[in-house]
Structure 1
Amino acid sequence: MTNSAKPRAQAADKRRRLTAAAAQVLHEQGVERTTLADIAHAADVPVGNVYYYFKTKDELVRAALSEHSTHLGELIGSLDQLPNPRDRLKALIEAWVSRRDTAARYGCPTGTLAVELDKRADGTLDAEAGAVIRRLLDWAGHQFRALGLPDPDDLAVTLVSAYQGMSLLANALRDPDIMTREGARLLHWLDSLKAPGQRP
């Protein structure tokens, strides 16, 4: 690595660590309770360096949303390797259930952030959080459409709403088993959906 490339690589690594830390700490503490110092500590970066990469907390929130979108993209990419749309949707549910302990402690990372940002009078960050959820809805709708099911976009809303609901209840009641039980119901629901003319 050349002398000029090394500082660039170090700067990129610091920014990546800060972005990942922002996503984690904002999920765990919420926007209002989180300070730039909290994020710097989680990223193991001197707090003064944070301002070099992110001038305001809103910029860090935007970076966290970008991180959530990246994680969603990686998840969707892995699900798309499965040959059958129904299997992709079932694997999505299983991925949600696998994070039941985190959901019970903190809720859905994007959903809780979207709700909190919506209550702020300033900015458009709530719309950016909504865009991440919209991306998931669009992907799910595409899977239902590939199965030949009627009203695929409505089915996508039903699926994602069920996830948000079970995450919220698991968090409110501190009960990860809610995710397990409701995830099983969603898997059964998916198996029950048949395209017109398809034999039950």
Structure 2
Amino acid sequence: MPRPATNKRERLTAAAILMARESGLESATIAAIAGAADVPAGSVYYYFKTKDDVAAAVAEGIATLLADARESLDAPDDRAALTGFLRSYLEDAAGTVAYGTLLSTAATVGGADAHRETLGWLTSRFAGLGFTDGAARARALHLLAGVEGGGALAHALGDAEPLEREVAHLERWVANAGG
């Protein structure tokens, strides 16, 4: 069976993201990452010299995945974009219950950029609803803390209900938001 058409670095990064999410990057070996990516273990060092390089690639890869997801939500209607963002958490509810959110995985490898970029995007959507800069940021922080907290609780309990309830609550809150 032929390998996927993606390049080795992309395959290695995708495998490392999956392993970081499933069991934590600290427990993943270079050989396991290489095996999951269908790349010879010896060639991993061409792309990643150290485990810190792998962690940086995981953080960057997650930031890219989330940026692509946000881009697909961008619309002239900021309220619809915010609602789409919330619903994206429900689309990954099974993964969140099993492994935590993608942002929580990014945090475990030092990926604060993904959080900052997400927060910036949310802030701009609230600003688009007419909120001042400070109020838009406060609302963005509230929304992100709420949905990430719901995700953390869903993961801890092994049950999607906390995430589902928080998304439903935040959807109503966004529907009634106006600056």
Query: Shared fold by TM > 0.5?
Result: yes
- Pick the aligned partner of 1:69 from 57, 63, 73: 63
Partner of 1:186: 170
2:86 to 70, 89, 93: 93
- In the TM superposition, residue 149 of structure 1 has moved relative to its aligned partner by 2.2
Which stretch of structure 1 is more off in the superposition, 52-61 or 177-186? 177-186
Query: What's the Cα RMSD here?
Result: 1.5
Preserved CA contact (<8 Å) 1:100 1:177: no
In structure 1, what is the Cα distance between the partners aligned to 2:106 and 2:86? Answer: 21
Matches of 2:38 and 2:78 in 1, distance apart?
Answer: 41
Question: Cα distance, 1:112 vs. partner?
Answer: 3.5
Q: How far apart are the structure 1 equivalents of 2:154 and 2:60?
A: 25
Judged with a 3 Å threshold, the aligned counterparts in structure 2 of structure 1 residues 112 and 73 are, in CA distance, closer, same or farther, namely closer
* Alignment match, 1:38: 32
> How many pairs were matched up?
173
AA matched with 1:109: L
SS in 1 for 2:172: helix
Q: Secondary structure at 1:19's aligned position in 2?
A: helix
What are the ranges of 5 or more consecutive residues in structure 2 without an aligned counterpart? none
Which aligned pairs between 1:128-143 and structure 2 lie closer than 5 A? 129-143=111-125
Instruction: Give the residue type in structure 2 aligned to 1:28.
Output: E
For residues 139 and 54 of structure 1, the distance between their equivalents in structure 2, rounded to whole angstroms, comes to 30
Task: Report the residue type matching 2:17 in the other structure.
Answer: A
Aligned mates of 2:15, 2:105 — CA distance in 1: 17
Q: Structure 1 runs of 4+ off > 6 angstroms?
A: none
Q: Is the 8 A contact 1:30 1:113 kept in 2?
A: no
Query: How far is 1:85 from its partner?
Result: 0.2
TM-score, length basis structure 1: 0.82
Can you list the C-alpha shifts for 1:128-148, whole angstroms capped at 9, x where unaligned? x11110000001000100101
Give unpaired runs (5+ residues) of structure 1.
1-9, 118-125, 196-200
Query: How far did residue 49 of structure 1 move?
Result: 1.4
The answer on whether the counterparts of 2:19 and 2:28 sit within 8 Å (CA) in structure 1 is yes
Residue 110 of structure 1: how far off its partner (Å) = 2.5
The residue type paired with residue 168 of structure 2 is: A
